[in-house]
């Protein structure tokens, strides 16, 4: 039953730390590689670098809700939201956003 999940390449769930700037502050974010791939895809779709996408997202969250209590969780959920949208809309609709 779980072979598709249990049999995945361990590299997908290995963690990688990337350094970037959020609102001028140098920081590091540690995520599983599968999430980094998705964040890279989102940024590429928007025509920006991954650090710029993450920094923009952080700024928008600050404006709407204040400092997030767990920004890495927000990033993981953003990846899930991207995948939900990708699965529910035709590819041309996503590219047009």
20-46 tens-digit pLDDT: 998 889 999 999 999 999 999 999 999
Question: CA-CA distance, 56 to 62, in Å (whole number)?
Answer: 10
Domain-embedded: residue 9: no
Q: Residue 28: give the domain boundaries.
A: 16-96
For every one of its 97 residues, what pLDDT tens digit does the chain have, with 9 covering 90 and above? 688 889 999 999 999 999 999 888 999 999 999 999 999 999 999 999 999 999 999 999 999 999 999 999 999 999 999 999 989 876 555 555 5
Please give the model's pTM, rounded to 2 decimal places: 0.84
- CATH label of the domain that carries residue 40: 1.10.3990.20
Q: How many structural domains is the chain composed of?
A: 1
Domain-embedded: residue 10: no
């Amino acid at each position: 039953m779980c072979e598709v999940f249990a049999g995945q390449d361990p590299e997908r769930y290995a963690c990688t730390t990337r350094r970037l700037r959020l609102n001028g502050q140098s920081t590091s974010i540690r995520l599983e590689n599968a999430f980094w791939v998705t964040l890279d895809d989102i940024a590429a779709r928007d025509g920006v670098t991954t650090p710029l996408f993450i920094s923009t997202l952080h700024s928008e969250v600050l404006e709407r809700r204040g400092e997030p209590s767990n920004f890495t969780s927000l990033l993981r959920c953003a990846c899930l939201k991207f995948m939900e949208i990708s699965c529910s809309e035709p590819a041309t609709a996503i590219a047009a956003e």
